[in-house]
Amino acid sequence: MGKIEMIPCMEYTENNMTERFCKGDIVYCGTEDRECLGTIIEIGLIPEEEDGEKAIMVVIDTSSGKWSRSYEYVKPEEIVFMRRVTLDEEQKQEEKVEKKPCSLIGSMRGAYGRDENYRNGLMDNLLGIRK
């Protein structure tokens, strides 16, 4: 990547509706010859060639894994459509849920049979409670 002069956000207008896209937004973007899904990592002035003029480009991270990186460079005037991708409410809630040791132990309580003394003794040992 060459030198980049950052622009904070870009506005995209479609059907008389203007939407603002900023760094970090997950977008589905399409031009006449390609489509891409990814995260906007930069919006800025990037030289098209080594000694050429700078043009405004949107850099979209389209990587699918942790170990390899791929990027799409798109000029705003080439964009045919651009939509923000949002997670469903269920997905958001699942991401917020934290697995705590107490919740895991609580789910184990009914799994060890009906012997209440055995269950209580097991839970006391797991939780470190001494009588």
Question: How much is the pLDDT for 60?
Answer: 92
Percent of the chain with pLDDT over 70: 60
Per-residue pLDDT tens digits for 70-109: 999 998 889 999 888 876 644 555 555 555 455 555 555 5
Which of the following CATH numbers is that of domain 5-84: 1.20.1250, 2.60.120, 2.30.30, 2.40.10? 2.30.30
pLDDT band at 33 (very low <50, low <70, confident <90, very high): very high
Report whether pLDDT(57) > 60: yes
Higher pLDDT, 98 or 3: 3
Rounded to the nearest 10 degrees, the angle between the axes of helix 116-127 and helix 101-108 is: 160
Per-residue pLDDT tens digits for 5-22: 566 788 888 888 888 888
Could you state, in order of their start, the residue ranges of all structural domains in the chain? Answer: 5-84, 96-127
Q: Which amino acid is at 74?
A: V
- Kindly list the distances between the CA atom of residue 7 and the CA atoms of 68, 82, 91, in Å, as whole numbers in the listed order: 26, 18, 31
What CA–CA distance (Å, rounded) separates 115 from 113? 6
Per-residue pLDDT tens digits for 103-128: 555 555 555 455 566 666 666 666 66
